């Protein structure tokens, strides 16, 4: 939930929680990046898999922020995700965040029900980023969304703020 003061300043409590969590996640990603330089086989030693897991958690936290915001504004999810900054892929940043979070939460169960509509939509969004949904897909999504900046969640937060502002001004 966020509040807009009379002077126009915004107090976004959920974003502040997300900002703190992003610092935590980014610190872990920094550590893993350093570790990848130290070990002879970062893939074999699970460094990249650990980073992928951290990035997945980050996208789910961002998705929770999106839901808290559009829910608080009483905007339907499908409409809310269409708001805010767009990406060169044709999707909005909010849509890509939502698809990345859904990928992390559900991709392990997809073989049980191949070609389910949510799976198809998520994989189409990844394909629009030239990501096939295989190894380290979420790390690639984060990099694509925050380009040209470094692949960290703090770089994504400005996009989420812009999304919030666009959504709030539309209601």
Residues 6+ apart with CB under 8 A from 113: 119
Q: How confident is residue 66, by pLDDT bands cut at 50, 70 and 90?
A: very high
Asked if residues 23 and 68 have their Cβ atoms less than 8 Å apart, the reply is no
Q: Which of 2-11, 59-68, 134-143 has the lowest mean pLDDT?
A: 2-11
By the 8 A CB rule, do 159 and 145 touch? yes
Dihedral angle computed from the Cα positions of residues 17, 33, 134 and 22, in that order, rounded to the nearest 10 degrees:
10
- The closest alpha carbon to 115, from 102, 127, 124, belongs to 124
Q: What are the residue boundaries of the structural domains of the chain, listed by start?
A: 2-170
From the list 52, 63, 69, 55, the residue with the least C-alpha distance to 13 is: 69
Contact 35, 47 (CB under 8 A): yes
pLDDT tens, residue by residue, 126-147: 999 999 877 899 999 999 999 9
d(CA 46, CA 77): 35
- pTM assigned to the model: 0.95
Distance CA 102, CA 88 (A): 21
């Amino acid at each position: 939930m966020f509040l807009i003061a009379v002077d126009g300043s915004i107090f976004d409590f959920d974003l502040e929680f997300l900002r703190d969590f992003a610092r935590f996640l980014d610190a872990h990603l920094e550590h893993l990046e350093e570790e990848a330089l130290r070990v002879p086989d970062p893939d074999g030693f699970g460094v990249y898999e650990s980073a992928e897991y951290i990035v997945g958690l980050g996208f789910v936290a961002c998705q929770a922020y999106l839901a808290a915001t559009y829910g608080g504004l009483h905007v339907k999810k499908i409409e809310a995700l269409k708001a805010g900054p767009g990406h060169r892929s044709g999707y909005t940043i909010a849509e890509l965040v939502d698809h990345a979070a859904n990928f992390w939460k559900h991709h392990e169960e997809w073989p049980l029900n191949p070609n389910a509509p949510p799976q198809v939509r998520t994989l189409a969004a990844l394909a629009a980023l030239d990501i096939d949904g295989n190894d380290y897909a979420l790390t690639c999504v984060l990099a694509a969304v925050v380009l040209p900046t470094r692949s960290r969640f703090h770089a994504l937060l400005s996009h989420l703020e812009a999304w919030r502002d666009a959504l709030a001004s539309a209601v």
